[in-house]
Amino acid sequence: MMLASIQPAERLSLFRPGSRTTVNPYGDVSMLHEQQAGTVNSPTPPMLPSFGFTQEQVACVCEVLQQGGNIDRLARFLWSLPACEHLHKNESVLKAKAVVAFHRGNFKDLYKILENNQFSAHNHPKLQALWLKAHYVEAEKLRGRPLGAVGKYRVRRKFPLPRTIWDGEETSYCFKEKSRTILREWYGHNPYPSPREKRELAEATGLTTTQVSNWFKNRRQRDRAAEAKETTRCDDGSAGQLCASPGYLDLKDETCGYEVRNSSNVTHFSETASLGNLVNVSNTA
């Protein structure tokens, strides 16, 4: 039996404590619904009018369905909730509504929920991700192509996070200067660090191994492209002249979403250079 085919009165009866019906549109959350009334020495929170759930149980069901990725079931459950303002202002219910709105592409509803309700700090990361992803999707549809790092940066600037899901502290999407210095100097020593060296670089810079790997990958790609461009330029009109090396270019790590800028005055280390030396040089710079 599908939930949509059940009359409202019958639908609400499915969630009342003590119900032993086999109809359960919410899968593994049935354990939350089968409480026995009148448990000895166990204070029972007040039930919601004409529903049979406490607000705490409703919040728990919302969290379980979100964590399980059961968006359709979550949407049906939210639809079944009674018209109780106090219940619909519950943070778990609001977060569940935001998740459903995002997955259904109802971005206006998503923005309205996020902008008009205050959320706890522990929910900020998830809700910030929904806010940004929704704006990225809208921008990509408008432009007809995927967004790169610069495009995403412009979207973030145009649609800053609302204070309801943000503590006001600026989020940095750039590597710190110390990290950039270490990576640049190691690149001059060895553009192809080993896995062990990448782990050491990650520890020294405070980045992840993936970010370090992507930085070196992007750097090599940019340098190869610059070398090819210089070679073509020499072949076209600079025969007999010595072509300058491409030097160090401005890089944007689109994979990680970090903007990395390299300067041209970089010290090249000999083959005996070590990560410890690079860190020491960076600390004294």
pLDDT in 10s for each residue of the chain, 285 residues: 444 444 444 444 444 444 443 334 444 444 344 443 333 444 555 555 556 788 999 999 999 999 999 999 999 999 999 988 889 999 999 999 999 999 999 999 999 999 999 999 999 999 999 999 999 999 999 999 999 988 998 999 999 999 999 987 665 566 778 888 999 999 999 999 999 999 999 999 888 888 999 999 999 999 998 888 888 777 666 544 444 444 434 444 433 444 444 433 333 443 344 565 555 555 555
User: What is the pLDDT, as a whole number, of residue 230?
Assistant: 82
Q: What is the dihedral of CA 269, 250, 280, 285, to 10 degrees?
A: 110
> Locate tokens 């004409």: which residue?
50
User: What is the pLDDT, as a whole number, of residue 246?
Assistant: 41
User: What is the pLDDT, as a whole number, of residue 278?
Assistant: 58
Give strand pairing partners of 253: 258
What DSSP character marks residue 7? -
Task: List Cβ neighbours of 18 (8 Å cut-off, separation of 6 or more).
Answer: 34, 35, 36, 37
Task: List Cβ neighbours of 266 (8 Å cut-off, separation of 6 or more).
Answer: 184, 185, 188, 248
User: What is the pLDDT, as a whole number, of residue 268?
Assistant: 40
Count H helices, E strands: the chain?
12, 2
Distance CA(276)–CA(283), nearest Å, equals 11
Tokens of 216: 């070196």
Tell me which amino acid residue 6 is.
I
Residues in the chain: 285
Give yes or no for a contact between 29 and 61, defined as CB atoms under 8 angstroms apart. yes
At residue 174, what are phi and psi to the nearest 5 degrees? -120, 150
Distance CA(152)–CA(78), nearest Å, equals 32
User: What is the pLDDT, as a whole number, of residue 21?
Assistant: 37
Stated pTM of the model: 0.51
